């Protein structure tokens, strides 16, 4: 069962999303907040801590962007999925830089929201083709976000490069293990080494850093990037 939190100041949208998601047998909403301050206060006191957070950006008292910065420092394992009316390149790139695991427009179909939640739990991130295209265009324009990562990459082993490529293609740990004939524990070890070598705090940051620095080659395919 995936423990989910949602923060959105629009009560009708928040309650509607909760009703839709809690119809699923594998997702339960354990926390709902109406603004960033309310969210942080509940995170400090909740008995059941969420794995995933659906987060609006435009909220009173403390907006989603500022709340995300605090969450990334205080609760680095909490995976953030932005669900916002703002889908400009600037907003998307800024939230990816902060460490958002996914970014969806607010008019996204509920089934896609659910699938994104499942993908984020399985893979650590889920970037749609629209988000990947924003990243690519940003690279072409030479205006990369300033990620907190070290300029390494040449010292990666062939196995690490292979695993990095598969991570960026959104293969799960189990799928990578099966594909490379190694154990899931070994895959986890390589992934942790990659994050340490490249100075990334999470898988989402690892993927963006790899794409930005041409450490992987990803060719879009219909329906996804695998």
What strands, in cross-sheet order, belong to the sheet with 2-7? 27-33, 2-7, 52-55, 79-84, 102-105
Q: What is the pLDDT of residue 208?
A: 80
**What CA–CA distance (Å, rounded) separates 101 from 138?**
18
Helix, strand or coil, per DSSP, at residue 168: helix
Q: Return the DSSP state at 174.
A: H
Asked if pLDDT for residue 23 goes beyond 80, the answer is no
What's this model's pTM, rounded to 2 decimal places?
Answer: 0.77
148 has pLDDT over 50:
no
The average pLDDT across 204-221 equals 73
Third-level CATH fold of 149-212? Arc Repressor Mutant, subunit A (1.10.10)
Residue 143 pLDDT > 50, yes or no?
A: no
Each residue's pLDDT tens digit, 59-108: 998 999 999 999 999 998 999 999 998 888 888 888 988 889 999 999 99
Please tell me what DSSP assigns to residue 162.
H
Phi-psi region of 204 (alpha: psi -120 to 50; beta: other; left: phi over 0): alpha
Domain residue extents for the chain: 2-138, 149-212
- d(CA 74, CA 175) in angstroms, rounded, equals 31
**SS3 at position 224:** strand
How many of the other CB atoms lie within 10 Å of CB of 56?
25
User: Per this entry, what is the length of the chain?
Assistant: 226
Q: What is the 3-state secondary structure (H, E, C) of 24-48?
A: CCCEEEEEEECCHHHHHHHHHHCCC
| Domains 2-138 and 149-212 alike in fold | no
Interval 151-190: pLDDT, tens: 445 688 889 989 998 888 888 888 899 999 999 899 889 9
Count CB atoms within 10 A of the CB of residue 130: 12
Fold held by 2-138: Rossmann fold (3.40.50)
């Amino acid at each position: 069962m995936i423990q989910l939190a949602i923060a959105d100041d629009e009560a009708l949208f928040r309650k509607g999303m909760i009703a839709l998601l809690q119809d699923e047998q594998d997702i339960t909403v354990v926390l709902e907040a109406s603004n960033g301050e309310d969210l942080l206060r509940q995170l400090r006191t909740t008995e059941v801590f969420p794995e995933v957070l659906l987060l609006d950006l435009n909220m009173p008292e403390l907006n989603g962007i500022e709340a995300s910065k605090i969450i990334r420092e205080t609760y680095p394992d909490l995976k953030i999925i932005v669900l916002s009316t703002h889908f400009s390149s600037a907003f998307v790139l800024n939230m990816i830089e902060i460490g958002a695991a996914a970014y969806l427009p607010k008019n996204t179909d509920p089934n896609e929201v659910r699938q994104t939640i499942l993908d984020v739990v399985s893979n650590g991130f889920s970037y749609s083709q629209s988000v990947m295209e924003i990243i690519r265009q940003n690279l072409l324009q030479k205006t990369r976000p300033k990620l907190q990562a070290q300029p390494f990459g040449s010292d990666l082993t062939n196995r690490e490069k292979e695993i990095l490529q598969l991570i960026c293609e959104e293969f799960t740990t189990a799928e990578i293990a099966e594909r490379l004939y190694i154990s899931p524990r070994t895959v986890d070890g390589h992934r942790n080494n990659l994050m340490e070598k490249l100075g990334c705090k999470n898988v989402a940051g690892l993927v963006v850093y790899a794409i930005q620095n041409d450490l992987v080659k990803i060719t879009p395919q219909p329906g996804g990037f695998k």
